[in-house]
A and B are shown apart, each in its own frame.
Chain A
Amino acid sequence: KQEVTQIPAALSVPEGENLVLNCSFTDSAIYNLQWFRQDPGKGLTSLLLIQSSQREQTSGRLNASLDKSSGRSTLYIAASQPGDSATYLCAVMTGGYNKLIFGAGTRLAVHP
């Protein structure tokens, strides 16, 4: 059974720092991995999708990498800002073709 783990569970950093969020999954047979942002009480905003054949994706200050064989992905956020404060979720598409399995998230706080 696929399990997705995110480390750390919470992170507090000063504005301007570069930071790395980690995601690991137990079964490397995935179709893709998606990173989402969730603001308190809100829905999920898709940030990046990496297909299983890809190694990384970039969008603005965000860069996500995928190492399928080792079951790991990282989300790199450059020059963090207070507006980046949110919970970041990773999810893998596995087993069924359209089912996402989520991690518990990393709660990020960026303070001025």
Chain B
Amino acid sequence: EPEVTQTPSHQVTQMGQEVILRCVPISNHLYFYWYRQILGQKVEFLVSFYNNEISEKSEIFDDQFSVERPDGSNFTLKIRSTKLEDSAMYFCASSLAGGPASEQYFGPGTRLTVT
């Protein structure tokens, strides 16, 4: 069964460093998302992406964050200058379509630890 994959599974970085989290969505899906979950807290929406542009972003997704679909298969989240509070599990998701019938499928996550 097709699945969303994410690399790396765990990333440790120092405060102020740039990190890129990578995702391969399900191959025929058109909508892509990033969410994060700080330890012990709710899963939070960061950004949705369709047709090579951001369709919606949350207040968390400030100028330090960016997303890109550099080729036909990868979807990346870049954090330019990491802060301690960026430590979280980051989930990529994809859906075939947008709208009420669109079931989102999540990857296994990347645990980001900022020291």
* Residue positions of A touching B, CB distance < 8 A: 31-32, 34, 36, 41-46, 49, 51-53, 89, 91, 93, 96-105
Separation of A98 and B102 alpha carbons in the complex (Å): 8
Distance of A96 from chain B, by nearest CB (Å): 4
Separation of A103 and B37 alpha carbons in the complex (Å): 12
Separation of A107 and B50 alpha carbons in the complex (Å): 33
Separation of A5 and B56 alpha carbons in the complex (Å): 23
Across the interface, which residues of B come within 8 angstroms of A31, CB to CB? 99-100
List 4 other contacts, CB 8 Å, given A32-B102, A51-B101, A52-B100: A44-B91, A46-B105, A46-B106, A96-B55
| B68 CB-CB contact with A under 8 Å | no
Distance of A104 from chain B, by nearest CB (Å): 5
A-B contact count (CB 8 A): 71
| B109 CB-CB contact with A under 8 Å | yes
Separation of A94 and B58 alpha carbons in the complex (Å): 13
Q: Which single member of B44, B58, B95, B109 contacts A102 (CB below 8 Å)? A: B44
Contact yes or no, A89 B31, CB < 8 A: no
Contact yes or no, B42 A99, CB < 8 A: no
Separation of A99 and B34 alpha carbons in the complex (Å): 10
